[in-house]
Structure 1
Amino acid sequence: MHAPTADPTRPTLSALFSPTPRGARRARLLAVHQLGDWGIPRTTPTAEAVAAVTAELAANAAVHGRHRGRYFRLRLLLQEHVVRIEVSDARPERPVPTAVATGAPGAGVPGDADGGRGLVLVAAFAERWGCFQPNAAVKTVWAEVRRRD
């Protein structure tokens, strides 16, 4: 399941955003800003990777996890060796693929498709990633980015 246990000694950020392109963009900007507050400058490989992963997960929540009147939640956890990014949305009936499509023949996404490659970016930047359902109304997609700051 990979649901984290609460640890009040670890720096954490949690914020709600509208499930729109603007909300997804604001989630990415807040993530990078928060890393700066935690001493990880935006020009580091860690911040760049967290920005890319947050952008993709937030965009997926805005497009595929959208539910009228509900927001998506971004949660960042600063750990010793990784930054954990969690994005929760209100569409648990829309599961996240367990394998990413690469656009290669037979991989589930046609080579000339306009979409379907976002989780390839997540897989490329994250040390590991997955999905869990904390309750019947919510799905959380998470990724852990190795700290290189």
Structure 2
Amino acid sequence: MEPKRRRASRILLLDGQDRLLLFRGSDPAVPGVTWWFTPGGGLEPGEGVREAAARELTEETGLRGVELGPVVAYGTVSFSFRGQPYEQEQWFHLARTTDTVIDHSGTGAEEHAELLAARWWTIDELRRTAETVYPVGLADFLERLVAEGPPGTPVRL
């Protein structure tokens, strides 16, 4: 089957303690397998990456008024979901919030069923976990981002 090409905007959302919000998800086609990932999703027709990031953040977290920072990373990822292969170009925005109460009620019913949990992670917790976390190398990148601030140009993840 030919992979669907997709463009996505993702958010590295940090709280006041530099913890990162991740969602735990699963693929109904692969029971028992889970992973952690950043908020975000596909661009709608005519939508830019910044607009998509703001929309997705509100839909998936219920947080309003979060100031999106710059695009700090980008990459391409190949994956399968519900048996359909995808090739996704994605951009990661940095954002910060002081509000850590997450409300998934803005997500669609299908998407809501696949979001199993939300959790704020420290860099140390990301380094120590045996669970799968995407994107690969997130702990190292996040540590540099917190220590040095946004890079002058986005980094490939």
Q: Give the TM bin, normalised by the shorter chain.
A: under 0.3
Q: Which has a greater percent of helix?
A: 1
* Higher normalized contact order (CA 8 Å, seq sep 6+, divided by chain length): 2
With normalisation by structure 2, the TM-score equals 0.26
TM-score normalised per structure 1: 0.26
